[in-house]
Amino acid sequence: MIYLDNSATTKPYKEVLSSFLTVSEDYFGNPSSLHNLGSKASTLLGRAREQIAEILRVEKDEIIFTSGGTESNNLALKGVVRANRHKGNHIITTSIEHPSVYNVFQQLKEEGFEVTILPVDRNGVISLDALEKALNKNTIIVSIMHVNNEVGSIQPIAEAGALIKKNSRASFHVDAIQGFGKVSLNISESNIDLLSLSAHKFHGLKGTGLLYRRKNIPFRTEQRGGDQESSFRSGTENVAGAVSMAKAMRMVRENKEKNEQLECFRKQLTEYFSSFKGVTIVSPPIKGAPHILNVSIPGLKGEVIVHALERDGIYVSTTSACSSKKASTSRTIEAMGFSFQTNVGSVRISMSHSTTQDDVQQFIYTWNSVIPTLMEGIKKS
């Protein structure tokens, strides 16, 4: 099996699984309990928070543990909007956001907020001029994805952050879920106020994530309970999940030199597809994330390509895993200006630090042996 669907989820590191199991077995106490077992769990939770804060170069009290990226995005957007509605009702995002951001903006629009959706160019990148023009005194939050999960486009986050702080009082939220560990991002230098991460995207476990919230950012939560996570996210903490996420983040940081290898793999695949007649490269050909490449065969359906490769043990995907089982095209690829046929025929190849040169070679070999037969069907029909 050659797994090239890492944007959907990554395989957990063995060390991460071991960490989760150890904490679950030996330190299973509730961290809010007064007895020694609870105290040990609380200590482990605090240590994980400190380790993550050190990696992100933020303060430990700015880390809120969550159940994953969708909750982090929802918590960030609704938390800021609810706390700042008296300051304005204008909110900004982009046309290629993950559904956990885009759909929240649609919900807020129904509640009466004025929503600006920034368009993207052929490379899936926003215009900074358009962002600057959209900002006004009533803008209370701007949410921009760092790395797009479908095509790998990288947004100019630092430049956007500078514009937001210069031209408005808005908070700046970044969905960094797809880019962490592969595309560098400095939270402080980019003027980021809120940032979402999900562990299963970087060899951690599903059901664990975090939200970074800069201190003093007005924030209100609707989830009431035992006041865990500084009252921002009530509920008994997932200690094993937090500890294993910190472990995954440390390991990803230690393996960051493998990003150069991913760059080489992506370049190799880009050159290969550039010479393959009938294939359209959807991803930015040069300035894209090192681990994602989206290509299309107009005239075929992406799902047909996915299943044809799967029969030979190659796993890729079509659109975002959150949308791929629905009968719909990619909102991201449509926003980039590609045709309907290109949209329908697109597949995403997404790698990780575990991907090898042999994997890439076997993928190319399988594509060469499987895809031409499918393309012959287009000519006949």
Annotated catalytic residues are: 322
DSSP, res 126: B
Question: Could you tell me where the beta strands, DSSP code E, fall in the chain?
Answer: 2-3, 63-66, 90-94, 114-118, 139-145, 171-175, 194-198, 209-213, 280-281, 292-296, 314-315, 346-350
How many Cβ atoms are within 10 Å of 304's Cβ, its own excluded? Answer: 16
Tokens for 258? 């493998």
How many Cβ atoms are within 10 Å of 129's Cβ, its own excluded? Answer: 9
d(Cα 242, Cα 358) in Å, to the nearest integer? 34
Return the closest-CA partner of residue 49 out of 224, 220, 233.
233
Burial class (CB in 10 A: 0-12, 13-18, 19+), 364: middle
DSSP, res 116: E
Please list, in sequence order, all residues whose beta carbon lies within 8 angstroms of the beta carbon of residue 2, skipping any fewer than 6 positions away.
313, 314, 315, 359, 362, 363
Each residue of 20-59: b (16+ CB within 10 Å) or e?
beebeeebebebeeeeeebebbbebbeebbebbbeebebe
- DSSP string of 1-53, one letter each residue: -EE-BTTT--PPPHHHHHHHHHHHHH--S-TT-SSHHHHHHHHHHHHHHHHHH
d(Cα 116, Cα 95) in Å, to the nearest integer? 9
- Angle subtended at Cα 340 by Cα 292 and Cα 329, rounded to the nearest 5 degrees: 60
d(Cα 97, Cα 102) in Å, to the nearest integer? 5
- DSSP string of 63-89, one letter each residue: EEEESSHHHHHHHHHHHHHHHHGGG--
